[in-house]
């Protein structure tokens, strides 16, 4: 409903310096999330000290780990904005994907910590106090995490950051596990001392599930996987270009939260070098317009008949603003 009623544009030309703006959006999302989750974790930690709740302790540790993941991601975004060098000719966008690995490791560590603490408390039961405050802390944790999750996922999908989306999914699971803390407090209120460590163990299992999702997301990005629908859109845009007889190959890859494309086109062998170059330039222009977050494209033309001649045109384009190259 929001997508239908709010004015919006899908035209890449409406975005000024999209790569730079994407990095700014990502950094803003990270630091706002860090502050939000930090406040939530501090509030919960105070109740943990007063109550001794294992379930709330696991939820708090998870929130702290989730907040700390903003640090490597922030570093990755800053590195990704550095200009390419002779050694790193594609720039430093891959630093963002490496940060995704760090996030996966942090999620795994929080799962182990939560599980170990819960098992220990099951073997050695302890009294839980300030039960109403434990329930209130669980509600606060849910609200804080859900707000952060929605914000991270929305920004991550808009700028094409797999690491930021994975971090948002992590925060969303934190929110649901916070509700489990409320259930644990209810069980303890009824005299079920085992409810707190059992819920703590459930939280550890929930973290494992989000670990699986985040690992798959980061793995696909590291293996240069893209949505097949994007490839179909790129091929359709190239085939619609006047003078293109066939699209031999189209290759797309993510470098950080930016797409790079390479395409081999078949054109009339009787064309002059200038005409072949014009077709390649038009194809590149249509490709960058049709595919969101595509910042660079290399277009190569081949003749459809060798006896008529052989022309090679390589065109590399970097968008720097609306209509600029």
Q: pLDDT tens digit string along 179-195? A: 878 888 888 777 777 88
Average pLDDT value for residue range 286-311? 77
3-class DSSP state of 110 = helix
Question: Is pLDDT at 249 greater than 80 in this prediction?
Answer: yes
Q: Can you tell me the distance from the alpha carbon of 257 to that of 293, in angstroms, rounded to the nearest whole number?
A: 8
Residue 14, pLDDT above cutoff 70: no
**DSSP at 2:** H
Residue with tokens 């609306």: 322
Region 302-310: mean pLDDT is 62
228 class by beta-carbon count within 10 Å (0-12 exposed, 13-18 middle, 19+ buried): exposed
* Cβ-based neighbour number of residue 250 at 10 Å: 21
Specify the residue for token string 């078949």: 266
Query: What Cα–Cα distance (Å) separates residue 179 from each residue in 41, 103, 121, 174, 244?
Result: 15, 23, 20, 9, 57
DSSP-derived letter for residue 241 is S
Comparing C-alpha atoms, which of 193, 195, 174 is closest to residue 61?
Answer: 174
Q: How many CB atoms lie within 10 A of CB 267?
A: 22
Q: Which of residues 153 and 203 earns the better pLDDT score?
A: 153
| CA dist list (Å): 52 to 49, 176, 194, 272 | 6, 21, 13, 79
pLDDT of residue 261: 92
Q: Backbone dihedral region of 311: left (phi > 0), alpha (psi from -120 to 50 degrees) or beta?
A: beta
Are the beta carbons of 148 and 36 closer than 8 angstroms?
Answer: yes
From the CB of residue 286, how many other CB atoms can be counted at a distance below 10 Å? 20
**What residues contact residue 154 under an 8 Å CB cut-off, 6+ apart?**
168
234 and 189 Cβ atoms separated by less than 8 Å: no
- pLDDT value of residue 73: 67
For the entire predicted model, the pTM comes to 0.68
What average pLDDT does range 284-289 have in this prediction? Answer: 90
| Beta pairing class for 258-267 and 246-255 | antiparallel
pLDDT single digits (tens) 50-66: 787 878 877 787 777 76
Domains, the chain, ordered by start: 2-222 (1.20.1510), 228-318 (3.30.70.1350)
Q: What angle do CA 182, 187, 189 make, to 5 degrees?
A: 95
pLDDT band at 265 (very low <50, low <70, confident <90, very high): very high
Burial 5-19 (b: 16+ CB within 10 A, else e): eeeeeeebeebeebb
Fill in the DSSP letter of residue 312: -
Confirm if 210 and 106 have CB atoms less than 8 A apart. Answer: no
The residues, ordered by sequence, that sit 6+ positions from 129 with a Cβ below 8 Å of its Cβ are 50, 51, 52
């Amino acid at each position: 409903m929001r997508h239908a009623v709010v004015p919006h544009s899908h035209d890449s030309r409406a975005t000024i310096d999209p790569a730079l703006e994407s990095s700014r959006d990502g950094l803003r999302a990270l630091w706002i999330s860090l502050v939000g989750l930090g406040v939530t974790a501090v509030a919960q930690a105070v109740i943990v000290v007063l109550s001794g709740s294992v379930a709330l302790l696991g939820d708090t540790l998870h929130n702290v780990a989730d907040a700390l993941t903003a640090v490597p991601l922030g570093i990755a975004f800053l590195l990704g904005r550095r200009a390419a060098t002779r050694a790193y000719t594609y720039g430093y966008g891959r630093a963002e994907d490496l940060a995704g690995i760090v996030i996966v490791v942090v999620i795994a560590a929080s799962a182990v910590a939560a599980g170990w603490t819960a098992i220990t408390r099951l073997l050695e039961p302890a009294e839980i106090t300030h039960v109403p405050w434990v329930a209130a802390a669980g509600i606060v944790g849910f609200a804080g995490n859900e707000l952060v999750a929605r914000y991270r996922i929305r920004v991550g999908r808009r700028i094409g950051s797999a690491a930021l989306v994975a971090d948002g999914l992590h925060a969303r699971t934190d929110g649901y596990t916070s509700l489990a803390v409320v259930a644990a407090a209810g069980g303890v209120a009824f005299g079920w001392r085992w409810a707190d460590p059992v819920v703590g163990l459930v939280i550890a299992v929930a973290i494992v599930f989000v670990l699986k999702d985040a690992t798959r997301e980061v793995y696909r990005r590291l293996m240069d996987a893209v949505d097949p629908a994007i490839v179909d859109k790129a091929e359709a845009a190239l085939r619609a270009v006047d003078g293109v007889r066939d699209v031999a190959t189209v290759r797309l890859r993510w470098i950080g939260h930016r797409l790079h494309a390479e395409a081999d086109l078949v054109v009339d062998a009787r064309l002059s070098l200038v005409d072949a170059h014009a077709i390649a330039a038009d194809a590149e222009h249509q490709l960058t317009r049709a595919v969101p977050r595509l910042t660079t494209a290399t277009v190569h033309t081949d003749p459809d008949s060798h006896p008529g001649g052989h022309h090679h045109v390589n065109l590399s384009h970097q968008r720097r603003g609306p209509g600029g190259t």
